[in-house]
Amino acid sequence: MIFLVIAIISPNKYTSEAVLLPSGFVLSGMQFVPGFSITEFMSGAQTEISSFLFPDILKSKKVILKALETPFDSSLIERGYKGNLKEFFRWGSTEKAIKGFKGKSKIKYSFEKGLVQLRFTCKDPFISRFALEAWISALEDFINEHTALSAKKKYAYLKRREEKLVAQLDSAENELKRFIATHRNYSDDPILTMQYQRYRSKVDLTSELINYVRKQLEVTMLDMKGAAPIINILDEPNLPRSRSGPKRSLIVLSGAVIGFVASIFAAAFRMWWISHRNKARPS
């Protein structure tokens, strides 16, 4: 009877699902495992990313908190929803909100295909779908911010390097000009010719380095514009049409089985008690 009541009063639950394929995936997700560290990636020491890292990034506090604080979109506002996920579930503190979000969400990673499957389950189908959309959006924002920051750091370093090389080239060219002005007939003297070649080589080498750094600056500029890997959403977060829980029939069946087993134990105990009591009576 208790299980029947539980089955009746338990609220419906709806699960929204989405499937991602990060652009860093090639043939097998395991190809990206050697040398990859989520700690180094988060700190900025490692700028590359693969599908292998996505579950860890999705479970990070920064990404989940961003999803929790994402304001409801117009479709939810039109239905009367207000605020964001954190306010909707009334989780209170940030730590409780993150823990609550993790409790309602699930991440499944396929090592063979490199696919990341996301699920979010709650009593409202519209909230389930929005939670996944906000989660994926928070993931994209995080990656864009991280990769853009890394590209900017690299660009700034190359720019400083270019400025130093330009100053060195200017100095080398001045030295060469002074040498030529002082030794107009340097070609007649082997020692002066060697000195000239040294000054000339310094100018040429510095010029080549500047050209190389400038090419790297062009590449880095392109990286800054499109540094973030593309997150291919194979299956968009769906609006659950049928409930995913609770399994009322399973609850009732479990209750019936437990009740049946309990009745057998109760009958056996009763028979044992009667037998024990009869033996204890004086003849």
Locate the domains of the chain by residue range. Answer: 2-235, 247-283
What's the half-sphere exposure (Cβ side, CA atoms, 13 Å) at 37? 7
Q: What is the pLDDT along the chain (283 residues), one digit of tens a residue?
A: 444 443 344 457 899 999 988 765 443 333 333 333 444 444 444 445 556 778 888 999 999 999 999 999 999 999 999 999 999 999 989 999 999 999 999 999 887 777 899 999 999 999 999 999 999 999 988 887 877 777 788 888 999 999 999 999 999 999 999 999 998 888 888 999 999 999 999 999 999 999 999 998 888 887 766 555 567 788 888 888 766 545 545 554 665 567 667 677 776 767 766 676 666 555 5
Amino acid at position 5, single letter? V
What the block records as the tokens of 20 is 């991602």
Q: Letter for the amino acid at 206?
A: T
Is 219 strand, coil or helix?
A: helix
Query: Which residues, 6 or more positions from 94, have their beta carbon under 8 angstroms from its beta carbon?
Result: 65
- Across the chain, the runs of DSSP E, i.e. the strands, are 14-22, 105-109, 116-122, 231-235
User: What pLDDT sits at residue 31?
Assistant: 35
